[in-house]
Structure 1
Amino acid sequence: MQQIILSDYEQTPALTDVAIPEPNHGEVLVRVKAAALNPLDVKLQLGRVHAYFPLTFPSQMGTDLAGTIEKTGSLTSRWRVGDRVMARLDPTKGGAFADYAIVPEDQLVLLPQDLNFNSAAGLPTAAGTAWQALVEIADLKAGQTVLVHAGTGGVGSVAIQFARGLGARVIASASGDGVEIARELGADQVIDYRSEDFATKVSDIDVVLDTIGGETQQRSFDVLRSGGKLVSTVSPPDQALATAHKVEGTFVFHTSNAGRLSDLVKAMRAMGQSVLIDGVFPITSFAEAFGRQASGRARGKIIISV
């Protein structure tokens, strides 16, 4: 089979011929139909998250996938060959960018019949992070106001929809054609960050979802109401600043969780929500897809079709 392999940090990922793996106890072999790129893939390739996700080389790449079960290991009772599934793999092990992938059976989620493979592959990390941030950590409620930075990114595009579905007022930052996309996703107000300063446009925000970090994160404290919450997917917020502004600052460290993934899929279907897809690339064009992910210009998810 073919698989994307990283030989070392800062090296170019390569499409490589490898043997089809065999599932062990409690594992299944999934024939991958689609896999999604994430900002984490770029950080892993550059070695920027080595402290959290140390890699052993040669390293398999890819965490988010959707496909069908090809084979089950012994003592695997729940799943059957042919089941349509999705999963998020351990980032230190990877393996999603391949014809086949080994997945622990407790990390699999059954796909609804009306959910296609490309959309399903785009859900685990992006939607899981948005759900964890807004629902589990921020406990966002109807009537509250949330500011979503980078509203047309993978996490931001889902976060806008989740927040609207929860009955919150949504303000998003975007640029270029992303301004209209954010509106179409459900944002009540969109700030073009290239020409507008969000800190002068909004105030008394209940929740800020920070997907950018740096100066944007620091200045976001100024727009929160007393008792508000800043949740970052990029870096731990400055606790001294949080205390000074009388708000909470929390870092989302997203982990694979099949229960959460199942819950958010049900919620998205109930609210009529969908995955924003930037583009679909064959695995033979992985270099082009990876370059677009690294550029930071993607609108939603970049999907690798296998």
Structure 2
Amino acid sequence: MSATPSTQRAWRVVRKGYPSKALRLENLPVPTQLSSGEVLVKIQAASLNPVGYKLMGLLPNFLAKRPHVAEFDLAGVIIDGNGTKWKAGDAVYGNIPFSQVKKTRQGALAEYARLPAVNLLPRPPHVTPTQAAGLPTAGFTAYQCLFQHGALKKGQSIFVNGGSTSVGAFAIQLAKAAGCTVTASASAKNEQYVRGLGADEFFDYTKAPLHEQLVNAPPAQKYQVFVEAAGLVDPALYTHSEAYLAPDGVFVSMGPQPKGFDIVGIAKLAWGVFMKPTWLGGTKRKFMIMSVELNEAEMQAFNKLVEEEKVKTPVDSVYAFQDTLKAYERIMTGRATGKIIVKVDPDAE
């Protein structure tokens, strides 16, 4: 391997705002001091997540610990294993959680990064770096949503609202790999995409309010897990869920994602989901907002499914490193079907 340079290019978040204003392409030192348990990775590809640009626009500088390198998901090659299980040349993929980004100022949109060895998995030979970079956050979120929080088992059924989103796409694949029946929603133009991922049944949410469609056509077997991957704004999907969610099932949301600051909508959501008691008609179903935490056993179980080709990254588009701002423009449209990938190394597959 060639000698590691002393400097690198990196996209740093330098202020609060939209990516076009908040990000700056800078030259930074390549990390040379590794703490115990950390490794140095040469990054080949990174992927964008909605939480990335949302944190740029929401958190003030003192809370976000800016400046720091942007994004969290990466694929690359170990440069320095630093006495861990990894050795130089190992192909890996993994995640730098936001809590670590704030601490180390390291992120995925850079040519090099230091991060804990336990945050990484071996990249299967049949998976390219650009595909592997799209696996971590969305894939781990979907895995924990179904199996840690939903306790999903073979033969059960799930509903995925937002089957064309990244988390939704992984949830469909994971549930099918577990031997479950999957029903998913999306707009009509994405029906074939969602069915291609493995969905058995499909609902077009543009036809009529989705909760009304589900109440009028309840499943023969109620859903064990309702994955709300589109961004819960209207609480109706949850408050009507007794008609289609099993009594011991769980409604898991990726969190409220209103368009702009909709205080009335947020208040309505909070009352319908969190505050309304059952004696006033509150919903008798478990509700939770998903917050992914890296878990080595779950990461390895997820990677085994990737190795077995039961789970694949749905890639929407791939951008060159210098075109990162265009990649953010794409993800911010909300119309991407799959992951937005940035090739940090122009030679990466």
CA contact (8 A) 2:93 2:121 kept: yes
| Structure 1 letter corresponding to 2:223 | I
1:271, distance to aligned residue in structure 2 (A): 5.7
Superposed CA deviations along residues 165-218 of structure 1, whole A, max 9, x for unmatched, are 122221111114321100111111111212233223323433210123434444
TM-score normalised to the size of structure 2? 0.80
1:3, distance to aligned residue in structure 2 (A): 0.4
Task: Say which is worse superposed, 151-160 or 239-248, in terms of deviation.
Answer: 239-248
CA contact (8 A) 1:23 1:72 kept: no
Whether 1:248 aligns to 2:255 is no
In the alignment of these two chains, the number of paired residues is 302
Q: Write the mapping of 1:1-306 to structure 2, written as runs, cut at 5 A.
A: 1-10=8-17, 11-25=21-35, 26-47=37-58, 54-73=63-82, 76-92=83-99, 93=101, 94-202=106-214, 203=218, 204-223=222-241, 224-235=245-256, 238-240=273-275, 243=278, 244-270=282-308, 272-306=310-344
What 5-or-longer segments of structure 1 have no aligned partner? none
1:108, distance to aligned residue in structure 2 (A): 1.8
1:240, distance to aligned residue in structure 2 (A): 4.4
Structure 2: how far apart are the matches of 1:121 and 1:44? 20
Structure 2: how far apart are the matches of 1:28 and 1:60? 17
Q: SS where residue 298 of structure 1 aligns?
A: coil
CA contact (8 A) 1:29 1:100 kept: yes
Q: SS where residue 98 of structure 2 aligns?
A: coil
Q: SS where residue 77 of structure 1 aligns?
A: coil
The 3 A distance-change label for structure 1 pair 57 and 215 is closer
What 5-or-longer segments of structure 2 have no aligned partner? 1-7, 257-269, 345-349
| Structure 2 letter corresponding to 1:238 | V
Q: SS where residue 159 of structure 1 aligns?
A: helix
Structure 2: how far apart are the matches of 1:117 and 1:242? 48
The 3 A distance-change label for structure 1 pair 216 and 118 is farther
Structure 1: how far apart are the matches of 2:115 and 2:128? 19
Superposed CA deviations along residues 240-294 of structure 1, whole A, max 9, x for unmatched, are 4585332111221112334322210102333622110001111100001011112
Superposed CA deviations along residues 82-123 of structure 1, whole A, max 9, x for unmatched, are 010111102141410011111112222111222211121111
The 3 A distance-change label for structure 1 pair 6 and 169 is same
| Structure 2 letter corresponding to 1:205 | Y
| Structure 1 letter corresponding to 2:224 | D
Task: Report which of the two structures shows the higher radius of gyration computed on alpha carbons.
Answer: 2
- RMSD (CA atoms): 2.2
The 3 A distance-change label for structure 1 pair 144 and 28 is same
Structure 1: how far apart are the matches of 2:132 and 2:309? 16
Q: Percent identity?
A: 30
TM-score normalised to the size of structure 1? 0.91
Superposed CA deviations along residues 210-246 of structure 1, whole A, max 9, x for unmatched, are 1234344442341324333101121598244585332
Structure 2: how far apart are the matches of 1:155 and 1:4? 25
Structure 2: how far apart are the matches of 1:288 and 1:302? 10
1:65, distance to aligned residue in structure 2 (A): 0.4
Structure 2: how far apart are the matches of 1:28 and 1:4? 20
Q: SS where residue 9 of structure 1 aligns?
A: coil
The 3 A distance-change label for structure 1 pair 113 and 211 is same
Structure 1: how far apart are the matches of 2:74 and 2:277? 37
Q: SS where residue 254 of structure 1 aligns?
A: coil
Counterpart residue number, 2:266: none
